[in-house]
Amino acid sequence: MYAFITIGTNNLKESSYFYDEIFKILEIPRVVTDERYVGYSKEQNKSLADFYIMKPFDKNDATVGNGIMITFNAKTIEIVNAIHKIALELGAVNEGKPGPRHGEHYYAYFRDLDGNKICVFCSD
């Protein structure tokens, strides 16, 4: 449905470490590194990554879009819990503790180091 997702960062080094640790749990490796961006993808041999963290092209500060949220699939509830825990340990801000929502799915919410809202979701 989408080609790739890009979110801005004001500190590529810190942000890439943050996402390296989050994506390690989801088994999503870093596939490309550049002085302006880092990309991640489940498929190693794609020409484009699926998710990028990037310094803004216009060289202004990265800002957060109100109402924008990116959601990642997790295989189990335990993975959702682990990602939320490590995200907070790495400096993320809690936006919703792990737990069931809507009577059938399991979610956790946090804001990354640049304030982007991230959700981890499991259908268990």
Provide CB contacts within 8 A for 104, sequence distance 6+. Answer: 123
Provide CB contacts within 8 A for 22, sequence distance 6+. Answer: 83, 86, 87, 90, 118
Q: Which residue has the higher pLDDT, 27 or 66?
A: 27
Domain ranges of the chain: 5-122
Average pLDDT of the residues of the chain:
93
| pLDDT grade for 3, boundaries at 50, 70 and 90 | confident
Write the pLDDT tens digit of every residue in 87-96: 999 999 999 9
This prediction's pTM: 0.87
User: Span 5-122: which CATH code?
Assistant: 3.10.180.10
Average of per-residue pLDDT across 17-44: 94
Write the pLDDT tens digit of every residue in 110-122: 999 999 999 999 9
**Is residue 49 helix, strand or coil?**
coil
Phi-psi region of 28 (alpha: psi -120 to 50; beta: other; left: phi over 0): beta
